[in-house]
Amino acid sequence: MASRGRPLTFDPDTALQRALEVFWERGYEGTSISELTRAMGIASASIYAYFGSKESLFRQVMGHYGATAGAPPRNALKEHETAREAIHAMLRATVDQITRPDAPHYCMLILAAPTGAVENEPIREFLADIRRSQFTAIRDRLQRGVDEGELDVSETDIDAVARYYTTVVQGLSVQARDGATRAELESIVTGAMAGWSALTTAA
């Protein structure tokens, strides 16, 4: 938080959005405080005073990311009548987000994670927890399909189905980062949904 009695000389929401753009482009480890100060237009002392450490700033950035770019796929799971429609809409919304012309073509949850330094382990685990929550959200929607009679619990391993579609979501991001076109990503979604019946029916 800002020091008591000292009015802010910057807009926190704008500064957070600019920090998001830097982290999104460079990842956590690849982003320096000097790059953040330039992008946010504020001194490093103001970053530490208002947002805390780089780690604290990143956690706030991810909260902002989840409420903006991360929201459409998550909302898609709730807004459709059947589990199949919800999963399909989630995958389509994921493609929409990772092919936006105004943002890097990948999901921050997948590709902004640190990979090396031991001191960054808390951030790795923080992002892993969010990714695990994706699996949980998909599993919960499948469980709702079971509860509503759409899916037969005796024939559907909802953990396995949820793990599969979580993997598809994360794989789409990697493919987009590596240059896959929107049409190519949509073909992946089509293939993933073509397997719905086999995945939800016991062999």
Tens-digit pLDDT profile for residues 157-203: 999 999 999 999 999 999 999 999 999 999 999 999 999 999 998 64
Contact 191, 100 (CB under 8 A): no
Which pLDDT score, from 0 to 100, does residue 8 have? 66
Contact 19, 57 (CB under 8 A): yes
Count of alpha carbons within 13 Å of 101, Cβ hemisphere only?
A: 0
Domains of the chain, first to last: 12-64 (1.10.10.60), 69-199 (1.10.357.10)
Instruction: Report the residue count for the chain.
Output: 203
Distance separating the N- and C-terminal Cα atoms of the chain: 57
Please report, to the nearest 10 degrees, the dihedral formed by the alpha carbons of residues 189, 184, 62, 30 taken in order.
150
Tens-digit pLDDT profile for residues 41-64: 999 998 999 999 999 999 999 999
3-state secondary structure of 72: helix
pTM of the model: 0.87
